[in-house]
Amino acid sequence: MREHAVPEFEIPDLPAAPMRAALLDWYDREGRSLPWRIRPEDRAAGAIADPYAIWLSEIMLQQTTVPHATPYWERFLERWPQVSDLAAAPREDVLAAWAGLGYYARARNLHACAQVVAFELDGVFPSDLKALLALPGVGDYTANAIRAAAFDQPASVVDGNVERVLTRLVRMPTPLPKAKPQIKGIASGLASPERPGDYAQAIMDLGATVCSPKSPDCAACPWSGWCAARAEGDQTRYPLKEKKKPKPVRRGACFHVLREGAIWLRRRPETGLLGAMMEVPGTGWSDNAPSEADLESAAPFEADWRNAGQVRHVFTHFALELDVLCATAPDGWTPDEGVWAPVRDLKEAGLPSVMMKAAKLGLETRLL
């Protein structure tokens, strides 16, 4: 028996003009006030967006929530108020200031991008999409977001919040990530040519504050009358997503070494995960836990290493289980590389989250 082909999903015609007007009217009343944002009333009063501040916020907000990113943004601007200041800063200082924000390749790209803008573009961020995409660490979403928010230029801005709004709007049957091209097409058709910056921020705010993942407030939504998922009562079903495979687990160990109130740390290699960040030195990470021979080979010196327990950290593509082995540095031992960081100033050491977990676990165990 011949099977019938499943017809491709046809994006419905949406009344773009009244939808834009409704969304912008809602944004004028209800849009979020964020420290890097120029709201409509600010623009009317003569305020001008700062491309540096907006670029910095967009890089920090990649895979990071607004409440978590905002204090970092404030500290960066206080310490490096101009892109030239950030470009001139030692990269180690930038990485240390970024510690705890995650996705550390962003910090390396941030510093590299600041240097390109400061030293090759005379400190001026470009507004052209192609030129923005050429900057280190700037992809399609970030380039469009900067173009819209910093320069009020037409742009199709699609983040996770926008994907949720638009897939519910049309009841998108194609799961993510396959649906991304269709979603971008819908976003482009709806984007406002008259108020592109406000529109881009409005649709992101709609997803962040009204069209939430689990409890959408449809009564407050300016697009509720056009929303197909609301009409069917299955809003929280969207966006559809392909089933994720379980994350593999990698294992390793780190050597928690103390001497006179200081902990031994070293800088990781330039490339790879957590590249150039500080670490509690240890073994490599692999599918299997390190053997006794592995530990003996990797240990910085012979000692009766005390196992403080294990820390677990989930990265984008795998989970890491790290045994924390503790010892006091023997008299006369000097490491070939690394630094001694005072324990009382551990927060200033620039440790990424997984290494901070390991450092704290070792310290807690020693106090028992």
Contacts 24+ apart (CB under 8 A), 168-171: 168/211, 168/216, 168/227, 168/228, 168/229, 168/230, 168/235, 168/238, 168/239, 169/14, 169/223, 169/226, 169/227, 169/228, 169/229, 170/11, 170/12, 170/14, 170/228, 171/228, 171/229, 171/232, 171/234, 171/238
Query: Sign of the C-alpha dihedral, residues 148, 104, 340, 354?
Result: positive
- DSSP summary character for residue 178: T
How far apart are the C-alpha atoms of 275 and 173, rounded to whole Å?
39
Beta bridge partners, 270, equal none
Residue 278 CA to residue 346 CA, distance in Å, equals: 11
Active site residue 58: yes
CA distance 143 to 38: 18
Structure tokens at 325: 């082995």
Catalytic residue among 10, 30, 41, 58: 58
Q: CA nearest 163: which of 193, 183, 192?
A: 183
Tokens representing 275 are 């590249």
Catalytic residue list: 58
